[in-house]
Each structure stands twice: as structure tokens, then as C-alpha cells.
Amino acid sequence: MKKTYWWKIIMIGSVGLFMVWAYFNPCEHRLSRCIGGEGMFIVRTMFHFSIPVLTSSLVLLFLSASVSKKWLKFAAGWIIFSMIIILLTPASIGGYVSVVPEREVVSFFINILFLIISLILITFWTIKEKRSQK
């Protein structure tokens, strides 16, 4: 196997193992507890991030090393960006009406946005690479 496949397989395995561990331990065999609920902020945020990373990694498994490296750089930057945004968001909101989202909602939606942008970038980079090879 090529060297680029190994890091992809290790990443998929690591993320998959984390998701299984989170489901059986802190989430107490309830997927709804991993996605939302009280407490476990760090585990839940990591679970939210694991879903798009696993999906993107499975797609990248079948693509070239250059596209995978570009995505890895994007993902590293996105992790830093999302951590800053999530940490700046209030943990909970008091009052009846508020326009500021809670940390859990921001964590969930920022990771959905990560998945969408990742898939768009992967598609764009793959098409661009195939056109340059012709």
C-alpha cells in the first residue's frame, strides 16, 4: 500500500474508534446524547466534528494524495477557526428571547458547514486536477 493510504486509514480508524468509544461510554448507548443534551461539552463537540471528518476521509480514501493534502491543510485551519468561534460563543443563554446561539448549536452547525465546504472543495480540487492532467 502507498504511504498516503496509511495515514488515511489511520485517520478513519482513529475517528471511528473515538465515535464508538463516545457512544458506549459518555453517551451511555444513546446517539441523541452524543449529538445534544446536557454536559459533556468537549466529547459532544468532538463527536460533532468526527462525523464530517469521517465522511470526508472516506471520500478522500479514493482520491489522489495532492487533493488529500490540500484538504488536510484546510481541515487544520478549520479546526483552529472553529475552536475560536465555539469558545467565543456563550455556554448557555439566560432569558426567554435571545438572538445569540448557544455553544452546542454553534458546534453542531459549524461542523455541518465544515462538511459542506469540504465536499465542495474536494470536488473542485479533483476536477481541477483532472483538467490539468489532460
Cell of 96: 426567554
What whole-number percentage of the chain has pLDDT above 90?
32
pLDDT in tens, 36-95: 766 677 888 888 889 898 998 888 888 888 898 899 899 999 989 998 998 888 776 665
Q: How many CB atoms lie within 10 A of CB 57?
A: 25
Domain span including residue 111? 3-133
Q: How far apart are CA 20 and CA 67, in angstroms?
A: 28
Count of domains observed in the chain: 1
Report the predicted TM-score, pTM, of the whole model to 2 decimal places: 0.78
pLDDT tier, 18 (very low <50, low <70, confident <90, very high otherwise): very high
Cell of 81: 477557526
Q: How far apart are CA 2 and CA 114, in angstroms?
A: 27
